[in-house]
Chains A and B, each alone.
Chain A
């Protein structure tokens, strides 16, 4: 009996608080707030789908958004209960102004609508191993402006390769799509000290490449690429070398 009275008082207090907030009278410290629209907002004990649902927040109640890790947001209810809620469920809540709550992150159409990509790759350049990191900006879903930076580790020499270029993805909406690219950059070769010609060499390079990229999940791609480089050496002949790489690409 006392419990129901307490509940009643709590509900009254919540209504009062909500009313005050709706009237714009209270604007507390800068914490994002949301009003639950689903029958329940499920709060898990940790930021992952495997953690048990330990608490629920009823429809119409307000929660404060405390922190976010990947797709999980830690929230606190009005009566101090804390837990982790999934982005998809919080996107069905409303802000205190009655607007749908918007949380940044990849949308359902992110395969073709994303803007930024980062990647890690490894492979082979003319016999030397390649470790590379890359970034790309999508001007349109099928046109990328990209930059790569790679360390080269060979038997006879080591070096660095930095390139920038553009790439065209033929069918960005397909699960697996071919792409082509061209660009230029700089190549630095540092022969190992034990060899006869110990001077370092820096040359400009240009490349043309062809590759395949396929979606592993809604945010990850596996990308394989073959690039043919022309090295503009200081000697009479230009050198031609080729590179292949395989890597992961994540998009934002």
Chain B
């Protein structure tokens, strides 16, 4: 046998000899670990984590009062309520409900004839569902010491108006100014046009009913 081959054989044997006890000791260690009792038992009680909540105020609800000019029926006092949800600092959705008592037409006053509408039918009640955009956010300064966050907003929506014994599909287009008196109370100045088709005076026409209101709302 040549010398190189012998060295190779011997070194192979040596490696094998070294590996066998190692494998055995690994097995022993594994067996020992499975039987040894745990020395330190963790006696940590999990703490109940109850994070305090954060008051999220995206809803805004309130009431308004103002004047509405009902086409052909003069101007009347209008009042109602509004509920808004602010999705982002720019966009909100708003539901408005308002009511007013319509006056008399010029025709009724001048001719002295029978009334065109019964008392019940003169009640002008509307709702609209609108999407609003805070187009011009800013601050309003009152005197030299108070700065109040404000926004000029535009709204566009659709709804229904009950007037003259009929429900009319209504498109509501509005603009307003919202001023926050403190963190959760807002003052609104709002102008809105409620447009709907009416045939109350004989023929179909698109009526525009302009409304100007002052409102107070609370964020919650």
Q: Which residues of A contact B (CB under 8 A)?
A: 30-32, 45-51, 65-74, 95, 97, 103, 118, 120, 122, 128-129, 131, 133, 151, 153, 158, 192-193, 217, 219-220, 248, 250
Residue-wise, chain B 1-13 has the 8 Å CB interface mask toward A (1 for contact) of 0000000000000
Residues in A neighbouring B219, C-beta threshold 8 A: 69
Given A120-B93, A193-B165: A30 and B52 within 8 A (CB)? yes
Given A45-B139, A67-B57, A69-B58: A131 and B52 within 8 A (CB)? no
> B201 within 8 Å of A by Cβ?
no
> B116 within 8 Å of A by Cβ?
no
A131 CB contact (under 8 Å) in B55, B129, B166: B129
Q: Which residue of B lies closest to A74 (CB)?
A: B183
Q: How many A-B residue pairs have CB under 8 A?
A: 90
B86 CB contact (under 8 Å) in A70, A95, A158, A220: A70
Q: Which residue of A lies closest to B91 (CB)?
A: A220
Residues in B neighbouring A120, C-beta threshold 8 A: 93, 129, 131, 157
- Evaluate contact between A250 and B93: CB separation under 8 angstroms: yes
Given A45-B139, A193-B165: A71 and B89 within 8 A (CB)? yes
Q: How far is the CA of A32 from the CA of B56 in the complex (A)?
A: 12
> B167 within 8 Å of A by Cβ?
yes
> B31 within 8 Å of A by Cβ?
no
Residues in B neighbouring A219, C-beta threshold 8 A: 87-88
> B147 within 8 Å of A by Cβ?
yes
Max chain B C-beta neighbours (<10 A), residue from A95, A129, A158: A129
- Evaluate contact between A158 and B159: CB separation under 8 angstroms: no
> B158 within 8 Å of A by Cβ?
yes
Residues in A neighbouring B91, C-beta threshold 8 A: 220
- Evaluate contact between B158 and A32: CB separation under 8 angstroms: no
> B69 within 8 Å of A by Cβ?
no
